[in-house]
């Protein structure tokens, strides 16, 4: 496990051919590791009859809604609150350390 709860991470931006489970809307965004789920078989090879090994660490990553959808903040009525968060499961090979603030 490369990351620990509390670590700041950036979701990689990529569109590899085939099946992957990292939605575009979260790519490039910076979040914080909320929890480490453990290691799970990789859906990117499982989807094509592979065995999904080596297993990939899977993390729950937390984002501020105001960061993901910055452009929507001024909409009325507010689509989300200032404290609202999005949490999403991301495999380790889609994470990279976030740049310094």
Q: Which residues are at the interface with another protein (CB under 8 A)?
A: 21-23, 25-26, 37-38, 40, 43, 58, 60, 65, 69, 72, 77-91
Nearer to another protein, 13 or 78 (CB): 78
User: In the chain, which ranges are E strands?
Assistant: 8-11, 30-40, 56-64, 85-91, 95-97
How wide is the angle at C-alpha 98 spanned by C-alphas 43 and 22, nearest 5°? 20
Minimum Å distance from CB 98 to another protein? 19
Minimum Å distance from CB 85 to another protein? 5
Nearer to another protein, 78 or 100 (CB): 78
Beta bridge partners of 97: 9
């Amino acid at each position: 496990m490369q990351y620990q709860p509390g670590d700041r991470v950036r979701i990689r931006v990529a569109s590899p051919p085939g099946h992957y489970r990292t939605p575009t809307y979260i790519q490039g965004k910076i979040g914080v590791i909320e929890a480490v789920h453990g290691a799970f078989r990789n859906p990117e090879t499982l989807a094509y009859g592979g065995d999904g090994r080596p297993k990939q660490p899977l993390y729950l990553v937390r984002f501020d809604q105001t960061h993901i959808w910055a452009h929507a903040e001024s909409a009325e009525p507010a689509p989300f609150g200032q404290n609202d968060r999005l949490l999403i499961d991301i495999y380790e090979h889609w994470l990279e350390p976030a740049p310094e603030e």
